[in-house]
Amino acid sequence: MIIVRDQGAVRVLTLNRPEKRNALNTALTQALLDALRAADADEAVGCVVLTGAGQGFCAGADLAEFKELTPGNQPLVEARAELSMQLHLAFPGMAKPVVTAINGAAMGGGAGLAIAGDLAVMAEGATLGYPETRHGIVAAIVMANLVRQAGRKAAFELVGLGEPVGAQRALALGLVNRVVPPERLLDEALALAQKLAAASRPAMRLTKELFHEAADLPLAAALERGREANKRMRSFRKP
């Protein structure tokens, strides 16, 4: 369900359920989580690129599984929610940076994955949206990251109206870093990933750690963490 290939120090992970627009069933969700953890543990890997097979990036949760996620099957409901949460926690927790290459529609949980990476490249013509309210459900786990990346008004518009946005609008909202023609998508993502992979591994690890902590801390606490990171980095800088 995940195609794994290495290009130098960059590991490319491809969601591979094109017949289902790469919808996230339990098996694919677990496979992606395992693949991210494996990439992070592999010393040969300096950066990860995540993309989708076929025309879509990821359609979100596989609605075919929803019939089993009922109040009468609470252990399964809880296990699936926990798995989804752990997947989204994996991205900021990785020492290795992740670049997402959004090749097509990214909806719901797929939109959450699209913006979960450290950098995002989106193809012209691709779309991103959170249509959950239209299906009578809630963009629950993916909302936490969306609120942190888009302004409150923009984030609520996305989850409240459930209307998808195009690549240029996603760029204007700061949800992606680049918009490129579809035929250049993977090349652009790989170029960014190769630059990230070439950075000092200890410096990148500490940069990611401090970045995600500073984003959620009050200023004084963030500066204290920066002070500690400043002292730590002296141990791995070359004289």
**Residues known to be catalytic:** 132
Query: What is the Cα–Cα distance from 6 to 127, expressed in whole angstroms?
Result: 27
How many helices and strands (H and E) does the chain possess?
9, 9
E strands in 86-199: 98-102, 106-107, 119-123, 127-129, 165-166, 178-180
Edge-to-edge strands of the sheet including 127-129? Answer: 106-107, 127-129, 165-166
Distance CA 157, CA 130 (A): 10
Sheet order of strands, 98-102 included = 2-7, 10-15, 47-52, 98-102, 119-123, 178-180
Distance CA 132, CA 138 (A): 5
Cα–Cα distance between 54 and 127 in angstroms, integer? Answer: 15
Say how far apart CA 39 and CA 23 lie, in whole Å: 22
